[in-house]
């Protein structure tokens, strides 16, 4: 392990920072501390560990290009990585640690909505900034959170519209038992009723995090689909997807007799699933690894190269918790990286790392990413492209539908009309 000289603070610099009342640390070596708040253990590690990796990659990418220019100096990003271990109260504790003890200028993190809601009051209390990169249910807006994530009208609604256009008339809503699936499905039930689907043709079922026995549920889905024109809308999160899809395949269900459109299954999660048995299943995201753009080709190539020698500012990081073979990119990873670049641009525009100044400068920021240009709106959500993909035996997605420039709307009352 190389010595991390960038993490050493002089006592005088620390005292000056405290005296100025700063909520973050800019140290003597011209670095700025940045928090990474993702589960590296527990049920959500299957998804969140890759977000930690792509954040470190992005920090290194920015540092190698000269860092962040503020007040005439080029600041290198100095990451502070913590593991809230898929424990929702621990997320709040770790968030407070990052803000109060580590004094980070910004945090990138959380996957589940319950983890985000756990830390939200912490960021509001200490006036910190959090970038949240994972699809969610909306119905929320905080001045301290920027949601690069897909809102319901950028994922769930386009996916349901696609299934309706394909002639589906029966919808089995299956999710993990927490706020994101329950709120999303509440919105979808209202939307389906507006589209003429009777309540008798909508089933709503939830399972706990880490649930493994899907035999009864899959049997019920098979019976539900027996008459044809049925589909599953899945908001299952984490490693519980593995036993569900294995049971689904074992029961003889396919994309032909009962397609599944998943909102939490990306290329990364498909690495642990029987992909060859799930060909034709659908995903809806604002990014797929299979996109043919110069920006995406560079992203995929550079991330793969970084994984062979993972470091930030010359400091080695050991990549753990993820199978090193066949690493991929996915939408939450892309949105995590985009968030870092938008924050960098805002810091440079504001010529400051102060959260209030950076938040104001973020509005209107644009970034041309691997899936096209995004724009940060005044509602702290992105204008982004939306893609529906069909899974291939390789675990990649074939893009079958594109929606261009969809403005995220977090509040369902604006689109349930």
- Percent of the chain clearing pLDDT 70 (strictly above): 93
Do residues 99 and 180 both lie within one domain?
Answer: no
CATH number at residue 30: 3.40.50.2300
Do residues 161 and 262 both lie within one domain?
Answer: yes
Do residues 219 and 265 both lie within one domain?
Answer: yes
Alpha-carbon gap, residue 137 to 409, rounded angstroms: 10
Say yes or no to pLDDT of 72 above 70: yes
pLDDT digits (tens, 9 = 90+) for 246-285: 999 999 999 999 999 999 889 988 888 878 878 999 999 9
pLDDT digits (tens, 9 = 90+) for 210-236: 899 999 999 999 999 998 999 999 999
Alpha-carbon gap, residue 267 to 289, rounded angstroms: 8
Helix (H) or strand (E) holding 284: strand 282-285
- Crossing angle for the helix pair 241-250 and 215-224, to the nearest 10 degrees: 50
Do residues 174 and 260 both lie within one domain?
Answer: yes
In three-state secondary structure terms, 74 is strand
Do residues 9 and 92 both lie within one domain?
Answer: yes
Q: Which residues pair with 406 in a beta bridge?
A: 384
Q: Which of 181, 190, 195 is nearest to 232 (CA)?
A: 181
Do residues 305 and 208 both lie within one domain?
Answer: no
Do residues 146 and 219 both lie within one domain?
Answer: no
H helices of 27-107, in order, are: 45-64, 88-96
Do residues 22 and 123 both lie within one domain?
Answer: yes
Tell me which residue range forms the domain holding 58: 5-150+292-382
pLDDT digits (tens, 9 = 90+) for 78-108: 999 999 999 999 999 999 999 999 999 999 9
Alpha-carbon gap, residue 62 to 210, rounded angstroms: 36
- As a 3-state breakdown, the chain gives helix, strand, coil percent values, each rounded to 5, of 40, 20, 40
Q: 86 and 56 in contact (C-beta within 8 Å)?
A: no
Query: What number of other Cβ atoms are within 10 A of residue 11's Cβ?
Result: 7
Q: What is the mean pLDDT of the chain?
A: 91
CA angle 261, 265, 271 (to 5 degrees): 130
Lowest mean pLDDT among 152-166, 231-245, 393-407: 231-245
pLDDT of 170 reads: 98
Do residues 279 and 304 both lie within one domain?
Answer: no
Task: Please state the domain count of the chain.
Answer: 2
Q: 138 and 152 in contact (C-beta within 8 Å)?
A: yes
Q: Structure pTM? A: 0.89
Do residues 21 and 140 both lie within one domain?
Answer: yes
Do residues 36 and 106 both lie within one domain?
Answer: yes
Do residues 136 and 168 both lie within one domain?
Answer: no
Alpha-carbon gap, residue 370 to 245, rounded angstroms: 29
């Amino acid at each position: 392990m190389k010595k991390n000289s960038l993490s050493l603070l002089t006592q005088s610099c620390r005292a000056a920072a405290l005296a100025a009342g700063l909520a973050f640390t800019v140290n003597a070596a011209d670095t700025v501390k940045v928090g990474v708040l993702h589960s590296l253990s527990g049920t959500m590690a299957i998804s969140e560990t890759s977000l930690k990796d792509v954040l470190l990659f992005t920090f290194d990418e920015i540092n190698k290009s000269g860092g962040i220019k503020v007040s005439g100096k080029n600041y290198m990003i100095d990451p502070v990585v913590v593991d809230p271990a898929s424990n929702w109260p621990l997320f709040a504790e770790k968030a407070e640690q990052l803000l109060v003890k580590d004094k980070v200028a910004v945090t990138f993190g959380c996957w589940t909505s319950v983890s985000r809601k756990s830390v939200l009051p912490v960021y509001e209390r200490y006036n910190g900034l959090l970038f949240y990169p994972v699809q969610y249910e909306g119905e929320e807006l905080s001045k301290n959170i920027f949601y690069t994530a897909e809102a319901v009208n950028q994922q769930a609604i386009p996916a349901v519209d696609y299934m309706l256009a394909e002639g589906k008339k029966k919808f089995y809503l299956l999710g993990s038992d927490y706020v994101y699936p329950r709120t999303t499905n509440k919105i979808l039930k209202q939307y389906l009723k507006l589209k003429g689907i009777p309540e008798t043709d909508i089933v709503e079922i939830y399972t706990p995090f880490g649930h493994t026995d899907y035999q009864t549920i899959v049997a019920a889905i098979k019976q539900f689909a027996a008459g044809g024109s049925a589909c599953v809308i899945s908001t299952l999160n984490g490693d519980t997807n593995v036993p569900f899809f294995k049971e689904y395949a074992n029961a003889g269900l396919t994309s032909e007799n009962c397609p599944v459109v998943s909102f939490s299954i990306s290329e990364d999660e498909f690495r642990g699933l029987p992909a060859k048995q799930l060909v034709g299943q659908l995903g809806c995201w604002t990014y797929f690894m299979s996109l043919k753009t110069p920006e995406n080709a560079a992203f995929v190539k550079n991330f793969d190269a970084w994984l062979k020698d993972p470091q930030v500012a010359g400091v080695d990081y050991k990549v753990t918790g993820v199978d090193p073979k066949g690493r991929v990119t996915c939408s939450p990873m892309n949105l995590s990286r985009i968030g870092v670049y938008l924050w960098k641009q805002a810091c440079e525009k504001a010529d400051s790392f102060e959260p209030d100044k950076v938040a104001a400068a973020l509005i209107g920021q644009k970034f041309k990413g691997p899936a096209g240009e995004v724009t940060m709106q005044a509602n702290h959500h992105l204008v982004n492209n939306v893609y529906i993909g069909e899974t291939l035996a390789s675990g990649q997605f074939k893009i079958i539908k594109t929606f261009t420039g969809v403005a995220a709307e977090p509040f369902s009352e604006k689109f349930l009309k």
